[in-house]
Amino acid sequence: MLTNDDVFLPVIQYFIERKGTASWQIKKDKICFHDLTYIYKGKATYFVNEQSFELNPGDIIYVPKGSIREAVTDPDDPVHSFAFNFNIAYPSVDDDPLPLDTVFNISEDPYFIKLLREYNIVWLERKDGFSLKASGLFMMILHYIYSRLPSQADKQAADLRIEKLKKYIVNHYHEKIDKEILASLVQLNTVYMGSLFRKKTGYTINEYTQRIRINKACDMLATGEYSVSETALKCGFEDIFYFSKVFKKIIGLSPSEWCKSLKQA
* Integer Cα distance of 192 and 186 in angstroms: 11
* Integer Cα distance of 141 and 86 in angstroms: 13
Q: Give a three-class secondary structure readout of 22-50.
A: CCCEEEEEECCCEEEEEEEECCEEEEECC
- With 0-12 / 13-18 / 19 or more C-beta atoms within 10 angstroms meaning exposed / middle / buried, residue 35 is buried
Over the stretch 10-48, which tens digit does the pLDDT of each residue have?
A: 889 999 999 989 999 999 999 999 999 999 999 999 999
Q: How many C-beta atoms surround the C-beta of residue 108 within 10 A? A: 13
Phi/psi zone of residue 37: left (φ > 0), alpha (ψ -120 to 50 degrees), beta?
A: beta
* Integer Cα distance of 39 and 37 in angstroms: 7
pTM for this predicted structure:
0.58
119, 137 contact by CB (below 8 A)? yes
* Integer Cα distance of 265 and 41 in angstroms: 66
Torsion of CA 159, 165, 168, 174, to 10 degrees: -130
In this prediction, residue 151 has a pLDDT band, given cuts at 50, 70 and 90, of low
Q: How far is CA 71 from CA 93, 100, 112, 117, in A?
A: 26, 19, 24, 23
Per-chain mean pLDDT for the chain:
89
For residue 97, the 8-state DSSP code is P
Over the stretch 109-124, which tens digit does the pLDDT of each residue have?
A: 889 999 999 999 999 9
Q: How far is CA 98 from CA 23, 106, 107, 142, 168, in A?
A: 30, 17, 20, 10, 37
pLDDT at 202: 87
Instruction: Kindly write down the DSSP assignment for every residue of 198-235, as one continuous string.
Output: HHHHSS-HHHHHHHHHHHHHHHHHHHT-S-HHHHHHHT
In this structure, whether the domain defined by 10-148 belongs to CATH 2.60.120.280 is answered with yes
DSSP H/E element including 103: strand 103-105
Q: How many C-beta atoms surround the C-beta of residue 110 within 10 A? A: 7
CATH dotted code for 153-265: 1.10.10.60
pLDDT at 261: 87
pLDDT at 77: 96
- Rounded to 5°, the CA angle 20-124-31 comes to 55
DSSP H/E element including 12: strand 10-19
Per-domain boundaries in the chain: 10-148, 153-265
